[in-house]
């Protein structure tokens, strides 16, 4: 066991080091303690992440074009999925592109679609470097995407169709209001095909029935939703499914998101009492 003078000597030695190495050491120790504490508590089964702040990161970092920020953000995805693998979190949903994002310029959208194609291919071809192989699925309005992006996603879904139970859902061309609208449309179409009257449909609609028509009805609702970049809103992400989710808002831009930030989010989830209206 170290004596007081030994501890003092160690502390003095640390203080004499350059500031950056000392800070790195402090972060490593803190991260290790966070990891240990988290594994002793409840861990979410489904984590949703709003990948926000790529463009602002590019501006802050002085990158030549905003698409360089999207590239950094896309590379961060593999790290995040690896962190979820390490904690054995079965389902991960990543919001890569909203329906509102289609208002952006054609060059930026082209770069985003290219990155999506690249990353879903990496996960389906086992080239992402993550420990676990996950079933890849898209949620969103597929018809809004370029054909090349639709084809890349379809190939990834087919290649990983028999993988599981770990899931990676990629929300592309996604909006929460659009998902609910599409669910109600599909439900009404099915009921009408079955010969139900509009009056009968209206009187018998229940939340559970609508849930069965969402984009991924077999996936449990998210326990934890994380948003980066300091924005304090969901912007419609998993609008129906997030009724009882815990939210965690992080100030850092998505490309700067670290494992320590992720562990803080999971710890925040573990520290909360989830009563679900009780």
What is the domain-level CATH number for residue 259?
3.40.1180.10
Average pLDDT of the chain to the nearest whole number? 92
The mean pLDDT of 76-85, rounded to a whole number, is 97
Co-location of 187 and 122 in the same domain: yes
Q: DSSP state, 40?
A: T
Q: How many domains is the chain partitioned into structurally?
A: 2
Question: Mind listing the pLDDT tens digit for each residue in 257-270?
Answer: 999 999 999 999 99
Q: Tell me which residue range forms the domain holding 14.
A: 8-40
Question: Mind listing the pLDDT tens digit for each residue in 192-241?
Answer: 999 999 888 988 899 999 999 999 999 999 999 999 999 999 999 999 99
Q: Can you tell me which residue has the tokens 């992440």?
A: 49
Q: Residue 93 — pLDDT band, cuts 50, 70, 90?
A: very high
User: Looking at the predicted structure, is the pLDDT value of residue 117 above 70?
Assistant: yes
Identify the sign of the CA torsion 142, 147, 153, 157. Answer: positive
Report d(CA 55, CA 218) in Å as an integer.
Answer: 33
Is 194 part of the annotated catalytic residue set? no
The overall longest dimension of the chain from CA atoms, in Å, is: 84
Identify the sign of the CA torsion 190, 160, 227, 208. Answer: positive
| pLDDT on residue 7 | 44
Cβ–Cβ under 8 Å, residues 45 and 87: no
Please spell the DSSP secondary structure of 165-234, one letter per residue: S-EEEEEEEE-HHHHHHHHHHHHHHHHHHTT--HHHHHHH--HHHHHTTSSSTTSPPPSEEEE-TT--S-
Global confidence as pTM: 0.89
In a domain, 278, yes or no: no
Co-location of 133 and 19 in the same domain: no
CA 146 to chain centre: 22
Co-location of 18 and 80 in the same domain: no
Of 35, 85, 101, 163, catalytic:
101
Is 40 part of the annotated catalytic residue set? no
Co-location of 63 and 29 in the same domain: no
Q: Residue 274 — pLDDT band, cuts 50, 70, 90?
A: confident
Co-location of 119 and 219 in the same domain: yes
Residue 225, beta-bridge partner list: 48, 247
In a domain, 3, yes or no: no
In a domain, 21, yes or no: yes
Q: Which of 249, 245, 244 is nearest to 228 (CA)?
A: 249
Co-location of 69 and 35 in the same domain: no
User: Looking at the predicted structure, is the pLDDT value of residue 14 above 70?
Assistant: no
6-30: buried (b, 16+ CB within 10 Å) or exposed (e) per residue? eeeeeeeeeeeeeeeeeeeeeeeee
């Amino acid at each position: 066991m170290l004596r007081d003078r030994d501890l003092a000597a160690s502390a003095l030695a640390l203080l004499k080091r350059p500031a950056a190495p000392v800070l790195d050491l402090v972060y490593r120790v803190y991260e290790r303690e966070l990891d240990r504490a988290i594994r002793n508590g409840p861990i979410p089964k489904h984590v949703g992440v709003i990948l926000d702040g790529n463009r602002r990161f590019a501006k802050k970092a002085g990158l030549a074009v905003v698409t360089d920020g999207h590239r950094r953000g896309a590379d961060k995805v593999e790290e995040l999925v690896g962190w979820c693998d390490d904690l054995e979190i079965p389902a991960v949903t990543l919001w890569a592109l909203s329906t509102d994002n289609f208002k952006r310029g054609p060059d930026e959208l082209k770069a985003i679609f290219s990155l999506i194609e690249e990353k879903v291919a990496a996960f389906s071809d086992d080239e992402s470097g993550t420990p676990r192989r996950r079933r890849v699925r898209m949620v969103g309005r597929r018809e809004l995407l370029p054909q090349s992006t639709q084809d890349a996603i379809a190939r990834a879904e087919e290649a990983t169709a028999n993988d599981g139970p770990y899931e990676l859902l990629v929300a592309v061309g996604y909006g929460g209001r659009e998902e609910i609208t599409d669910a109600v449309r599909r439900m009404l179409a099915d009921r009408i095909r079955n010969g139900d009257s509009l009056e009968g449909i209206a009187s018998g609609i229940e939340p559970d029935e609508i849930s069965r028509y969402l984009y991924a009805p077999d996936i449990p609702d998210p326990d934890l939703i994380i948003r980066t970049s300091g924005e304090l809103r969901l912007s419609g992400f998993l609008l129906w499914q997030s009724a009882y989710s815990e939210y965690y808002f992080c100030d850092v831009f998505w490309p700067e998101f670290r494992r320590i930030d992720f562990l803080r989010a999971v710890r925040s989830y573990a520290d909360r009492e989830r009563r679900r209206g009780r």
